[in-house]
Homo-oligomer: A and B are copies of this chain.
Amino acid sequence: MPATEKSLIRRIRQLSGKPALARIPLGIGDDAAVLRVPAPHEVLITTDFSLEGVHFRREWHSPESIGHRCLTRGLSDIAAMGGQPLAAFLSLALPAKLPQRWVDGFLRGLLGLAHQQGITLAGGDTAQSPGAGSNAKILADIVVVGSAPRGKALRRAGAKPGDSIYVTGELGASAFALEALLAQPKKKLDPKMHPAHFYPQPRLAVGRYLRERGIATSMIDVSDGLSTELHHLCEQSRVSAYVAAELIPRAHDATLEHALHGGEDYELLFTAPANRKVPRSIAGVAVTRIGKIRSGPARVSLLEGLRRRELRPGGWEHFNDPRRSSGKRSSGRRSA
């Protein structure tokens, strides 16, 4: 059983370390935290759930991996704005009988990534999860606050006809691992063999580079799958897109379907003017041109050799998948 709420907060505070007072004059322990954002900057804010049985399973994911993935979800959103993360806030509800070592592992995973990215856990909320026994689930909501110079944050809107479409890293590795887990739910996967699934890295340095150099015209992170995110980008930019299947950088073992529809890769998808030189690698991460933006309604076409087909959003959507009722997550093959 976890400690009382007060001692849980004390533990979080202890593990979080002292915030940098110049940026966070007041962290955990008051009614609200106080943050200072550099004067010509705007504040970026994003919130993301990590719910047991929806976003992770205790049988599959170690507490460290769950904590890491929880924070990655928020940091990746800040990366997709080209932002600088500043602080995180964690609302955490725990079952009464959860072992303290689980909580410590979760915090280690989350705070390890926070430390690596130079941000502070500055506040949040704690509660006991509703329900009894195995019906009581671990419920986390992460808030990440960042900043970007006024008017410079990279939005989903902004892609122009003629722009090239790029993606960072490789796609499909997380979906491949998830499919393996779903196929043999009792078998554990070695996190070291599947880092993209268990310890995904938010592409903060790449996002900032693209914003600082004024390279990208629009950007989004690939959390729900390339097909879904590219549709979002087209909708917001009021353009259409086409991508070439052979250009999409696929992770080892991943199929084209994994790369097209698999979620949780946390790579960045962005557009840049056709004549803009874009490095092949930024901050050690590969950058690959995969397609082009056109005028027209928000639709995505996939070119495969001589064939061309419409690529519908095939990524994960809550409330819409019968498999979800069993606590499974789409394996990224829904529209295959």
Known: A36-B42, A318-B5. A125 touches B81 (CB 8 A): no
Is A295 close to B, CB under 8 A? no
Residues from chain B with a CB closer than 8 A to the CB of A35 are 42-45
A26 touches B89 (CB 8 A): no
Residues 300-336 of chain A: 1 if any B CB is under 8 Å from the residue's CB, otherwise 0? 0000000000000000011110001111000000000
Of the candidates B44, B55, B317, which one forms a contact with A34 in the assembled complex, judged by CB atoms under 8 Å apart? B44
Could you tell me which residues of chain A, from 8 to 56, have a CB within 8 Å of some CB in chain B?
A: 8, 25-26, 29-37, 39, 42-49, 51-55
CB-CB nearest in chain B for A317: B5
Residues from chain B with a CB closer than 8 A to the CB of A81 are 30-32, 34
Is A189 close to B, CB under 8 A? no
**Stretch binding the partner chain, chosen from A139-147, A165-173, A192-200, A208-216:** A139-147
Give the Cβ gap from A206 to chain B, nearest Cβ, in Å. 14
**Stretch binding the partner chain, chosen from A128-136, A177-185, A246-254, A274-282:** A128-136
- This protein's copies in its complex: 2
Residues from chain B with a CB closer than 8 A to the CB of A320 are 4-5
B127 touches A318 (CB 8 A): yes
Is A238 close to B, CB under 8 A? no
Is A6 close to B, CB under 8 A? yes
A90 to B143, CA, bound (A): 10
Residues from chain B with a CB closer than 8 A to the CB of A259 are none
CB-CB nearest in chain B for A8: B319
Is A96 close to B, CB under 8 A? yes
Residues from chain B with a CB closer than 8 A to the CB of A5 are 317-320
Residues from chain B with a CB closer than 8 A to the CB of A45 are 32-33, 35, 87, 89, 122-123, 143, 145
Q: Beyond the given A32-B146, A132-B326, could you list 14 further A-B residue pairs with CB under 8 A, ordered by the A residue number?
A: A4-B318, A4-B320, A5-B320, A6-B317, A26-B155, A32-B83, A33-B44, A34-B44, A36-B42, A49-B125, A91-B141, A96-B324, A127-B318, A131-B135
**Using a CB–CB distance below 8 Å, which chain A residues touch chain B?**
1-6, 8, 25-26, 29-37, 39, 42-49, 51-55, 76-78, 80-81, 83, 87, 89-91, 93-94, 96, 122-132, 135, 137, 139, 141, 143-146, 148, 150-151, 153, 155-157, 219-221, 236, 317-320, 324-327
Between-chain CB contacts (< 8 Å), 19 pairs: A1-B319, A2-B319, A4-B318, A32-B45, A32-B81, A32-B144, A34-B153, A35-B42, A47-B123, A47-B125, A49-B91, A49-B139, A49-B141, A51-B130, A89-B143, A130-B327, A131-B327, A132-B325, A139-B139
